[in-house]
Structure 1
Amino acid sequence: MARRGDAPDDRYDDDYNDDFEGRRPRRRGRDSRSPGRERPPFLLRFFSWIGIILLCFVAGYLGTSWMVRSLNTRSLLKPENRVENGEDLKALTESEKEKEKEKAKAALSGVRGDIQQVSLRLYFLKNGGLAEDVRPFLARPQEDNIRDAVQTLLVMSGIEGAESNVRVLHVFRSADTVYLDCSRGFAAALSKLGQKNSQFLVTGIVRTMQDNFPPIVKVRFLIDGAVSSGGAPIDLTVPWQLPRA
């Protein structure tokens, strides 16, 4: 047996469902997105980022180059020896010439300074005893300075003919001993001086060597390259040295 109201209720339910379904928004699928909201493909995004990076790099490089050129133009970052034109080349050449002149002057002044600073203390025969004096000499090898010192000492001792007849021919060194090869006039000059003055003269030579040319403490005298066989009032066959304190 049918119940009252079944048919109308079913009709109303169907209308309500149809109306609800019509008003409910439909879910959009992946393909239904608007073009403005779609994500671009991966390759497109990758190349876009590469392009931006390259653009920034090129802009930075060009900007830096422009800045460096600007600073160079203002001589703020210009290297000292950089040549950009004929004027720079001329200025650099003149500067190098001036530097060479300054070096030459410095070297020359240094040599002259060394020469002026060379001084030797000489002990020479005077009034029957020894006197001393300081004399300047050219800076030369030690053997040459020894020869010059002894030659000057002989002249200051007043030995007649010391500049010509009495000469130091050669100088040799061996450890603490110096060999003075003198001309034959040296033995003759000692004979004129006598034994006492000859001893003073030789003592002055030994002391001059010891004070100015260490470690020399002994002096051997030769006559024309050989050991003296006589002719002098003192013994020239043995080395001479000062008594030890």
Structure 2
Amino acid sequence: MAARRGDYDERYDDDYEAVRGARSARRRPPRTRPARERKKAPLLLRFLSWVGVILLCFVAGYLGTSWMMRFLSTRFLLKPEGNVENAQDLKEFEARSRERERALEKGASPLQGATVRLYHPEGGGLKEVAFHAVSSVQEENIRDSVLKLLSLSGPEVAGKNVELRHVFRKADTVFLDFSDSFASALSALGAQSSSLLITGIVRTLRDNFPPIDKVRFLINSRVTNSGAPVDLTVPWQLPN
């Protein structure tokens, strides 16, 4: 039986689809291989990098803190009286010294001063008296106060012409450097009166010149008793 022009065989359609699928499979690009992982830097290099970062942070923090402390010290904080740090401070210090000398020559006190409570031995105890200190430097006020206290402590001390050669402070301890006559004055007083005099000096300095809490007594810049009836080789401190 003759086939009509519009008819077609389904087998040809199936063969066409099979051939088309095979060609598409041949043209499909191959799958890409996964990229290899990047190699890590050597351990030593990573260690040096971290050390460099830490050092950089440390240096930046140190420099920043130093700059901030200098800024606060010059702008907001008060410097100790008489402290000379640069040429400007030196000029101001010299100007104040000249003003003080001119005022002393005129017989007037250049400073307002402060009242110091002295405790000197009298009648087997300590008597409190007021003393007007005129200097703005703490060490000078300490020197004047101690010498005034000694002059009030009886002829055994006042008659020895005791010299307080140097006064210097470190933290809460003040060092009083006396001449040999101080040990002689203590010997003339005896052990009990000498201990009372030392106690009066310590209490005077503790109550009037904070943060002083301990007193060291030197003889000619040396730690020695020099015949004194009390122990001058140890710091003296009042019980709390």
Which of 1 and 2 has greater Rg?
Answer: 1
Change (3 A) 1:118 1:235: same
Q: Could you tell me how far 1:165 is from its partner in structure 2?
A: 2.4
Pick aligned residue for 2:201 from 186, 205, 210: 205
Q: Could you tell me how far 1:242 is from its partner in structure 2?
A: 0.2
1:218 correspondence with 2:214: yes
Unaligned runs of 5+ in 2: 1-102
Aligned residue identity for 2:138 = Q
1:192 correspondence with 2:155: no
Per-residue displacement from partner, 1:99-125 (whole Å, max 9, x unpaired)? xxxxxxxxx9xxx89834411000001
**Paired residue for 2:122?**
126
* Distance of 2:151 and 2:109 partners within structure 1: 27
> Is the contact between residue 109 and residue 134 of structure 2 (CA under 8 Å) also seen in structure 1?
no
Q: TM-score, normalised by structure 2?
A: 0.52
SS in 2 for 1:211: helix
Change (3 A) 1:164 1:201: closer
* Distance of 1:224 and 1:170 partners within structure 2: 9
Q: Could you tell me how far 1:128 is from its partner in structure 2?
A: 1.7
User: Following superposition, which runs of at least 4 residues in structure 1 exceed 6 angstroms of deviation?
Assistant: none
SS in 1 for 2:234: coil
**Paired residue for 2:139?**
143
> Is the contact between residue 121 and residue 200 of structure 2 (CA under 8 Å) also seen in structure 1?
yes
> Is the contact between residue 213 and residue 237 of structure 2 (CA under 8 Å) also seen in structure 1?
yes
RMSD of the alignment, in Å? Answer: 2.2
Unaligned runs of 5+ in 1: 1-107
Please say which of residues 130-139 and 174-183 is displaced more in the overlay. 130-139
Number of matched residues? 135
1:228 correspondence with 2:224: yes
Q: Percent identity?
A: 55
SS in 2 for 1:139: coil
Change (3 A) 1:190 1:229: closer
Pick aligned residue for 2:177 from 163, 174, 181: 181
* Distance of 1:134 and 1:114 partners within structure 2: 20
**Paired residue for 1:87?**
none
Question: Superposition pairs for residues 37-116 of structure 1, below 5 Å?
Answer: 115-116=111-112
Q: Could you tell me how far 1:229 is from its partner in structure 2?
A: 4.0
Instruction: Identify the structure with the greater helix proportion.
Output: 1
Aligned residue identity for 2:238 = L
**Paired residue for 2:167?**
171
